[in-house]
Amino acid sequence: MSSRAEGRERHRTAARGGVAVGLVCTVVLAGAGYVAWELRGIVATRADGDPARGVYQQDPERADRTAAAVLDGIVREEAEPPTDGKVFAGSGAVDWRSGGWKPSDPLEARPAPAEPAIGALFSPGGDGDPDHHCSGVVVHSPGGDLVATAAHCVHAGGFRTNLAFAPGYRDGVAPYGVWVPTRIDVDPRWTADQDPDHDIAFLRLRRPGYPGQRLEDVTGAMTIAFGTELPAPARLVGYPNSSEQPLDCRTTALPAGPTQLRLDCADVPNGTSGGPVLTDGHTLIGVIGGRDGGGDDETSYSVRFGDAARALHERSIRP
């Protein structure tokens, strides 16, 4: 359950204090920590990890199998990224303060070129999701291996054990490779009760078959900012789960209470959860998610990056 619509339903269910209809535990492998859940007849694999800390250390062999599954008929890698500047060129490198930035008119998301540091999250297997179910963004870090996304993209009833990230993805091509988690960090308040004020996650990634290669060296990275003054010009980017290219929208990030960002822009559909909210063209101030599982047909939300997000980020980059 990782789309905006599913996120909204999940939070409504949690607010009622109920349990999602049809959710039945069918298999528990205690030694490996894996749980297979049946949701309306669909099987998805999860791991408990360390919910008290909000940490999951991914099993390397399991991660390698996930990468192989993505590359087995879902995505193909290319030996070298395209260099024609047309398909995979970034669209966000604009000097916003010099007048180069203007809001979308009308305020509607539209297809956009793929960008190296922004990609699609895949979860191959029988969990009922489309091939790519969420979005993510590479964030600068000492290890050069960090991606930010929404917590609901990686943890729902447990940590997803079948995640892979394809930066710069477009039309079935992963020009910068397929990357898998070594570790996932979320706030314990998310693992406890899916608190929408903590709907952010950080993933540390590696590329199977390329030991020592660093994600950030291949794709570049966005910087991350905390406590950004609002309102602020903002661009949101994400991969609809029904499309093979990203979309974006330029709007204004507004405060939605002390803990959330509001971004008015129509036609930001399922699959864009976890996509970046950027200001100054390259500074990450949010990820699509948070209130109502990320929003509705007219408005998107994000956790407001404050002290809690800063603490989670600092924890995620420690060795």
Which of 77-81, 92-96, 172-176 is predicted least confidently?
92-96
User: Taking 90 as the threshold, does the pLDDT of residue 53 lie above it?
Assistant: yes
CA–CA distance, 167 with 121 (Å, rounded to integer): 9
State the DSSP string of the chain: --SHHHHHHHHHHHHHT---TTEEEEEEETTTTEEEEEETTEEEEEE--BTTTTEEE--HHHHHHHHHHHHTTT-EE-SS---SSSSS--S----GGGTT----SSSB-EE----TTEEEEE--SSSS--SEEEEEEEE--TTS-EEEE-HHHHBSSSEESS-EEEET-BTTEETT--BEEEEEEE-HHHHHH--GGG--EEEEEE-TT-TT--HHHHH--BEE-SS--SSEEEEEEE--TT-SS-EEEEEEEEESSSSEEEEE-B---TT-TT-EEEETTTEEEEEB-SGGGGB-SSEEEEE--SHHHHHHHHHHT--
Position 290 pLDDT exceeds 50: yes
- At 228-277, the pLDDT tens digits run 999 999 999 999 998 999 999 999 999 999 999 999 999 898 889 999 99
Indicate the Cα dihedral angle 281, 283, 287, 288, nearest 10°.
-20
* CA-based nearest residue to 168, from 290, 77, 61: 77
pLDDT above 70 covers what percent of the chain?
Answer: 78
Confidence category of residue 105, pLDDT binned at 50, 70, 90: confident
Average pLDDT over residues 106-130: 88
Token output for 68: 């192989």
pLDDT band with cut points at 50, 70 and 90 for residue 95? very low
Contact 162, 124 (CB under 8 A): yes
Dihedral over Cα of 294, 268, 288, 254: its sign: negative
- 35 pLDDT above the threshold of 80: no
For residues 317 and 306, what is the distance between their CA atoms, to the nearest angstrom? 17
Q: For all residues of the chain together, what is the average pLDDT?
A: 83
Put simply, whether the predicted model's pTM sits higher than 0.75 gets the answer yes
Q: What's the average model confidence in pLDDT over 288-292? A: 92
Task: Report how far residue 263's alpha carbon sits from residue 224's, in angstroms, rounded to the nearest whole number.
Answer: 18
- Confirm if 161 and 183 have CB atoms less than 8 A apart: no
Return the bridge partners of 237, or none: 248
User: Which pLDDT score, from 0 to 100, does residue 280 have?
Assistant: 86
| pLDDT value at residue 28 | 34
- Least confident residue range of 11-15, 63-67, 311-315: 11-15
Q: By percentage, how much of the chain surpasses pLDDT 90?
A: 67
pLDDT value at position 80? 59
Q: Amino acid letter at 218? A: V
